[in-house]
Amino acid sequence: MSAVRQSANGVFSMNGREWSLLVACLLAIVIFSVASPHYATSGNAATVLRNSVELLLTGLGMTLLLAMGGIDVSIGIVMGLAAIAIGRVLGADGNPALALLVGPLVGALLGCVTATVVVLGRVPAIVGTLGLLGVYRTAVFVLLGGQWLSGLPSSLTNVLATTVLGVPVPALVIAIAYLIIWLALRRTPYGLHLLAIGNSEEKARLSGIPVIKTRFMTFLISGFLTGIAATFYVATYRNVEMTIGSTLALDAIAAVILGGTSILGGKCSLIGTVLGVLLLRILQNGLLLIGVPSLWQPVVTGVLIIGVLGFEAVSNRLPLGLIQRARA
Amino acid sequence: MTEPFLVAKNIAKRFGALTALSNVDLEIRSGEVLALLGDNGAGKSTFIKILAGAHPPSEGELVIEGKSVAFSSPKDAASSGIATIFQELALSENLSIAENVFLGRELKRSIFGVPFLKRQEMRQRVDGLLKELDAHISDPEAPVGSLSGGQRQAVAICRALNLNAKLVIMDEPTAALAVAETRKVLALTRRLAARGCAVVLISHNISEVFEVADRIVVFRRGRKVAERLAAETNHEEVVSLITGAHPDVRALEKTN
Ligand SMILES: Nc1ncnc2c1ncn2[C@@H]1O[C@H](COP(=O)(O)OP(=O)(O)OP(=O)(O)O)[C@@H](O)[C@H]1O
Ligand SMILES: [Mg+2]
């Protein structure tokens, strides 16, 4: 609850949880630098940031969804479908303008599909998006015909891998997305409605909040952000493989709850999500560099999720005196 | 006599196989405190949720100031001038007092078509309302979840007052309150009625009801079984109406 209050003060203001995440990031960097001579290089720093782009964008959307008491486990495959659409457009004539539009468009459309199932169809979000995940996985298989989409033209890369006034385009897009979402969350009625729904949908309804509209909008926004993420993905890798986005939902949920957003809804932290994404990517990259096979990455993420939720459950159940003593 | 503010005609509500309400006819007048009494499960909350737009009725019609209305949401009822303090309060524990008071009808200014909250103004209005209620809340920025039962009740009442409603419905507003706070709420119901507002009060405390109510309506097993002017009945009769021991109620229940 304190996160709601404290984060409301400023765009980047941080509470204790968020400071500890920052410290954890720095600590991890120090440890990996000592453990591996290849770690502390500007090239590796760029790799970590580059690998964070899709997760930051989808993580912001996931923050809104969890704050609302929702969830979407299909974002990885949605990114895959949007990436295929972008690849097809690029492959056809390489027109970057059209390619830039198609990702967010497909993402928003699929967000509408999710919202139709979950919000209008009243299927619980976890079940509805799991169902869609199954459907979309086959769709991706059929669309790709069991092969990779590879060797895409570099026209999109030429647009998105540039800098504006010295700032890389991905960083600029993420900063704009962050600011818009922060404003919507903390400065407009939408944010209050979202948090009220996350607290209790029935109470929100009794308060006269447009619950269905707000929930629908949020799934749409998350889909839109996933479509932007797909655009950066294609621009960077210039191919779409069968396994695209397979760990994206797991990573996003982990980063968001690591950042202090409640899995039960009603409370969220955008800066926490950004720090959660960075910590996750720093850990994954660092472990790889000290020789842990990439096969183990989802294990790290899974253990983090269970660890954070387990710790929160235990600390909420402990008698107040014990916690206060532990804090003192 | 003037036209009633609200007329409920032949209202019924079914939840699946369960009939929570049937054949309820009721008139609610401006400037009057109407008390709804009845046992647990008699259908009182269900009835006022229909008035509040939270449930659509299965049958029947609501007429407000002579016009038939059909509420599809609590927002519709609020725009018709009906403010409701629900038994479960319906406050968002994670939001602040000011945010709760204005939730669903925030003050906002439009900048490039985007509605931005007017937090400052909302804070000031809420400070004024809390003062008017004489509610002692040290930190209006605190989340409602950290308040006591009585303080939460005060926030819910602020919400209703803030609407400038023509009908204020309170479902067991004093159930969680200490003596002094109960007195304040009862005085408030009288003040609202004196201002020309219609008030519907649900309570299990019969002496409390006699203190403030002009009219008393008794529900039993989903039906309205009696209506009395408070001045023309007494504690004992009301108890027998609620329990069903009263001959009128027995006669009514025998015929059906
Ligand atoms: N949403 C619902 N779904 C199904 N049944 C309901 C619902 N709401 C109320 N009921 C049923 O309708 C009946 C009347 O309930 P209601 O809450 O109106 O009683 P009440 O008179 O307010 O009682 P109390 O004094 O305990 O508050 C009860 O049998 C209750 O179980
Ligand atoms: Mg009730």
| Tens digits of residue pLDDT in B8-34 | 999 999 999 999 999 999 999 999 999
pLDDT level of residue A53 (50, 70, 90 thresholds):
very high
Mean pLDDT, residues A185-195 taken together: 97
Lowest mean pLDDT among A138-152, A182-196, A242-256, A305-319: A305-319
Residue-level pLDDT at A4: 43
Residue-level pLDDT at A324: 45
Per the domain annotation, does A255 fall within a domain?
A: no
The highest-confidence range among A91-100, A151-160, B72-81, B179-188, by mean pLDDT, is B72-81
Residues B106-149 pLDDT 10s: 999 999 999 999 999 999 999 998 888 877 787 888 899 999 88
Per the domain annotation, does A188 fall within a domain?
A: yes
Does A176 have pLDDT greater than 90?
Answer: yes
Does A303 have pLDDT greater than 60?
Answer: yes
Distance from Cα B54 to the centre of ligand 2, integer Å: 14
Per the domain annotation, does B101 fall within a domain?
A: no
pLDDT level of residue B208 (50, 70, 90 thresholds):
very high
Instruction: Please answer whether residues A56 and A48 qualify as being in contact, where contact means their C-beta atoms are separated by less than 8 angstroms.
Output: no
Distance from Cα B15 to the centre of ligand 2, integer Å: 15
Per the domain annotation, does B194 fall within a domain?
A: yes
Among the bound ligands, name the one nearest to the CA of residue B42.
1
- Ligand 1, atom 24: nearest CA belongs to which residue? B40
Per the domain annotation, does A237 fall within a domain?
A: yes
Check CB contact under 8 Å for B94 and A266. Answer: yes
Residue-level pLDDT at A5: 44
| From A183, A188, A209, residue closest to B104, measured CB to CB | A209
Per the domain annotation, does A290 fall within a domain?
A: no
Does A83 have pLDDT greater than 90?
Answer: yes
The highest-confidence range among A221-225, A287-291, B72-76, B243-247, by mean pLDDT, is A221-225
The Cα A157–Cα A238 span in angstroms is 8
Instruction: Please answer whether residues B56 and B130 qualify as being in contact, where contact means their C-beta atoms are separated by less than 8 angstroms.
Output: no
Per the domain annotation, does B227 fall within a domain?
A: yes
pLDDT level of residue A94 (50, 70, 90 thresholds):
confident
Mean pLDDT, residues A171-177 taken together: 96
Per the domain annotation, does A17 fall within a domain?
A: no
For A235, the domain range is 38-246+264-270
Check CB contact under 8 Å for A192 and B115. Answer: no
Per the domain annotation, does B100 fall within a domain?
A: no
Does A30 have pLDDT greater than 50?
Answer: yes
Residues B217-227 pLDDT 10s: 999 999 999 99
Does A151 have pLDDT greater than 90?
Answer: no
Does A322 have pLDDT greater than 60?
Answer: no
Task: Say how many domains are in chain B.
Answer: 1
> Model-level pTM greater than 0.80?
yes
For B29, the domain range is 6-95+166-255
| Residue A108 contacts B where some CB pair is shorter than 8 Å | no
Residues A206-221 pLDDT 10s: 999 999 999 999 999 9
Does A86 have pLDDT greater than 50?
Answer: yes
The Cα A10–Cα A182 span in angstroms is 9
| From B103, B116, B145, residue closest to A187, measured CB to CB | B116
Does A1 have pLDDT greater than 90?
Answer: no
The Cα B210–Cα B54 span in angstroms is 29
CB atoms within 10 A of CB A24: 17
Per the domain annotation, does A323 fall within a domain?
A: no
Check CB contact under 8 Å for B117 and A188. Answer: yes
* Helix, strand, coil share of chain B (percent; to 5): 40, 30, 35
- Comparing A144 with A229, the larger pLDDT belongs to A229
The Cα B97–Cα B108 span in angstroms is 17
Per the domain annotation, does B24 fall within a domain?
A: yes
- Comparing A193 with B179, the larger pLDDT belongs to A193
Residue-level pLDDT at A317: 62
| Residue A200 contacts B where some CB pair is shorter than 8 Å | yes
Q: How far is A300 from chain B (nearest CA, A)?
A: 31
Tokens of B41: 């499960």
| Residue B113 contacts A where some CB pair is shorter than 8 Å | no
- Ligand 1, atom 19: nearest CA belongs to which residue? B41
Does A191 have pLDDT greater than 50?
Answer: yes
Mean pLDDT, residues A25-36 taken together: 93
Q: What is the torsion angle, in degrees rounded to the nearest 10, for the CA atoms of residue A78, residue A83, residue A85 and residue A87? A: -170
Residue-level pLDDT at B148: 86
Residue-level pLDDT at A318: 55
Average pLDDT score, chain A:
90
Domain containing residue B80: CATH number:
3.40.50.300
